[in-house]
Chains A and B, each alone.
Chain A
């Protein structure tokens, strides 16, 4: 058991080697792993950089493995340190910072470098490639200054960059050398439709345009084309292609051609060195899309694990463009040629185009634009090579029209064979997804992603995966298909939240205008949601719209069935004093308040207060030093505590004191739904922390932080986020967690539902494992609290919103007669 482990060293920390390690850890742990990463960060999903650029996702959303994952597998990760030399005869690698590592097996995964066209001016500041997070950050920063961006290259990456920069508010021109866009993936008709779509979004497209030089003194000022045209620009993005990064392998004397040459087992010319990823040339081909790279990863893992038959084989990879609202799909070979036949369907009105290419009654390629629902079905026929002559007449209409079937999207998924590939990125078939669902009893999309990897990369197959969950689970699965927020819009909460950030929308009318609301003023469902999103996303900038809040949040009390209100003063940590209790008793007497009740969250509730009495009641409670308990808010409600080390003979920490500190830090904050906390002084759990939104369980050695509990209609125990040693860390983690929930939760979505949706592992990686992210989230929370911690009672006692509380007029009907 304790035999010396072999040493595996990996150069590069991109998506291919990390996937390789996942496979390797599944079959065993015979290796001690060391990774050298030139980028100073953990690995992330590079194909999701475009949604980061467009503002639809953040860096935190695209992390694949947080620091916790490396620790869990005992991986030594050298971040920001590059290998400069391989000594093959000594089986050593040497890094830029002088680290020397021995290996038994070495994997080179140096990826690729963006190709920069060597025209004059290409080294000016303001000329960027589009390759990693630093480039993306550079573009986001440049976009903040506005102006025009010129994107050189009208391929997949270039167009995603152009769309993202446009969404960020820049003027954008795309320069493309060829006559139509994306000519390697699209035919001319689909390329034309794509160009029209981009132009309708205000992106200028210049095809057959050759860049002569980049102009500027000290920074980019423009681009000159070969025909003499000059386009002003403050940013130039080169997205004209990539070159395998072979320098290290070449210097080490490995066989190198266009890429690092490997056999079908991913072994290089040195039997102890493997290579995976974009740096590889296998079977005479180099690859840039993620699906074949993941297949390489699997093959390499199997050979590293032991003798294996696994071999890499070329397969057609479907292409999809990740630009929201531009649906296109292409696969296979669509060049015209001898013996090839086309079937084409165009609908100019809807702007759709479908073309399938046949040879010998078999499908060899497909190009879809506008309506891509049948992409997976055509791809399946391409892979299986089945004879399509029987359905030739209806083939182009898609799967729903075969055999007179219904146009039920679930029926289309149900009809797919088990070996149909659903997730192209990860090579996951329908059968594998069904097996994962049934074997492991999975019921949520997040779980299916975590266990099967289906739709876990680019996410474009999410609908298909949900469809498979639907047919496998039957009634147990409620399709969470992106439903509109309400009857006023078809956009989902998630989309609206992303667009508010991406387009910098800062008022409710701006959201409704830009996102094409179908009603003039929204409704009682969407207005409070939008108001919350704007409050949470633009602290200090957005002016809270009182008329879009529910009455409880407008008058800072809970409306009761008879139109009276209940008033709850805040008692930090559930601690009160004789003076406070006397003041509460006096108020109850003075205003004839019929019911005084102790709540489940350790507060005192005064029920049956008339609306006109609210302000005097608050004035009296304020005078006794109490503020609003916010028992009415979608925001922080209460922090429940036990007496901890102050009194309890079992207490391990000062749970009461910590509860008070937490409540003092969190009060006043708005969140997607109500937020209730508890701090309990020992695992006996008298404060019931394990069914709260966030709970702290004190133990001798520190504090366990748990979250995602529910004890309402739905009952659910909490999940552990992590353990920390000090109160300061508790405060930071809880603030960071709250902020992440505030930034990404959907309105009225309790924290447990949010966590079920995002995945507990993912949240732990962002908030607990990644110290940098944790700090950033906590800091954003602190900033937002600067504007939120104002006692609404005191404001209203001082005269704010006075119209809410008294009648406009009281008429004496006798006199009116």
Chain B
């Protein structure tokens, strides 16, 4: 995000999110999905597939990507970019762990 100053907001703890899964954070108009990988890395994307706005948080997580549940687009968790032949971007957000606490940068 191109905000001048980033605020780290506490949104929950690591164990709230299943491994190879995601949880949503609602921020008014927007929903942000926070993903947790097998090795406990966290990524945050807007919960909208660049294709037809499918909820990425409901997708299957594998090897640093999520597959959208609507039409199987594969989105990189790190960059938000559609993989393979598809083109498009989902918004990404910074997210980090402080001990067990998940902090989202907005």
Chain A partners chain B: yes
Asked whether B23 lies within 8 Å of A808 as measured between CB atoms, the reply is: yes
Partner of A551, one of B24, B38, B59: B59
Quick one: CB contact mask for B81-106 with A, threshold 8 Å, 1 for yes? 00000000000000000000010001
Interface residues in A527-566 by Cβ distance below 8 A to B read 527-528, 546-548, 550-552, 554-555, 559, 561-563
- List, in ascending order, chain B residues with CB within 8 A of A528's CB: 60
Quick one: CB contact mask for A777-812 with B, threshold 8 Å, 1 for yes? 000000000000000000000000001000111111
Partner of A521, one of B16, B17, B62: B62
Asked whether A547 lies within 8 Å of B21 as measured between CB atoms, the reply is: yes
Asked whether B53 lies within 8 Å of A563 as measured between CB atoms, the reply is: yes
Asked whether B16 lies within 8 Å of A803 as measured between CB atoms, the reply is: yes
- List, in ascending order, chain B residues with CB within 8 A of A809's CB: 11-12, 25-26
Binding site secondary structure of chain A: mixed
Instruction: Tell me the total A-B contact number using a CB cutoff of 8 A.
Output: 94
Does B27 have its Cβ within 8 Å of any Cβ on chain A?
yes
State A563–B71 Cα separation when bound (angstroms). 12
Asked whether A810 lies within 8 Å of B26 as measured between CB atoms, the reply is: yes
Contact count band on A: 20 to 34
Asked whether A813 lies within 8 Å of B28 as measured between CB atoms, the reply is: yes
Quick one: CB contact mask for B31-56 with A, threshold 8 Å, 1 for yes? 10010001000000000000011110
Chain A residue, CB-CB nearest to B15? A803
Chain B residue, CB-CB nearest to A809? B11
* Given A559-B69, A559-B70, A807:B60 Cβ within 8 A: no
- List, in ascending order, chain A residues with CB within 8 A of B54's CB: 563
Asked whether B62 lies within 8 Å of A807 as measured between CB atoms, the reply is: no
Does A522 have its Cβ within 8 Å of any Cβ on chain B?
yes
Asked whether A524 lies within 8 Å of B26 as measured between CB atoms, the reply is: no
* Given A524-B67, A559-B69, A816-B106, A547:B23 Cβ within 8 A: no
Does A519 have its Cβ within 8 Å of any Cβ on chain B?
yes
- List, in ascending order, chain A residues with CB within 8 A of B52's CB: 561
Asked whether B27 lies within 8 Å of A813 as measured between CB atoms, the reply is: yes
Asked whether B9 lies within 8 Å of A808 as measured between CB atoms, the reply is: no
Q: Min CB distance, B40 to chain A, in Å?
A: 14
Does A715 have its Cβ within 8 Å of any Cβ on chain B?
no
Interface residues in A546-592 by Cβ distance below 8 A to B read 546-548, 550-552, 554-555, 559, 561-563
Asked whether A803 lies within 8 Å of B17 as measured between CB atoms, the reply is: yes
Q: Min CB distance, A598 to chain B, in Å?
A: 25
Quick one: CB contact mask for A500-538 with B, threshold 8 Å, 1 for yes? 000000000000000000011111100110000000000
* Given A519-B62, A519-B63, A547-B19, A561:B70 Cβ within 8 A: yes
Asked whether A550 lies within 8 Å of B23 as measured between CB atoms, the reply is: no
Chain A residue, CB-CB nearest to B25? A809
Asked whether B11 lies within 8 Å of A808 as measured between CB atoms, the reply is: yes
State A125–B10 Cα separation when bound (angstroms). 69
Give the one of B11, B60, B102 with max A CB within 10 A: B60
For this complex, 18 residue pairs linking A to B, each with C-beta atoms less than 8 Å apart, are A521-B61, A521-B62, A522-B62, A523-B62, A523-B67, A524-B74, A547-B21, A547-B60, A548-B60, A550-B69, A563-B54, A563-B55, A809-B11, A809-B26, A811-B25, A811-B27, A813-B28, A816-B27
4 nearest A-B residue pairs (beta carbon): A524-B67, A808-B23, A551-B58, A547-B20
A-side residues, CB < 8 A to B, are 519-524, 527-528, 546-548, 550-552, 554-555, 559, 561-563, 803, 807-813, 816
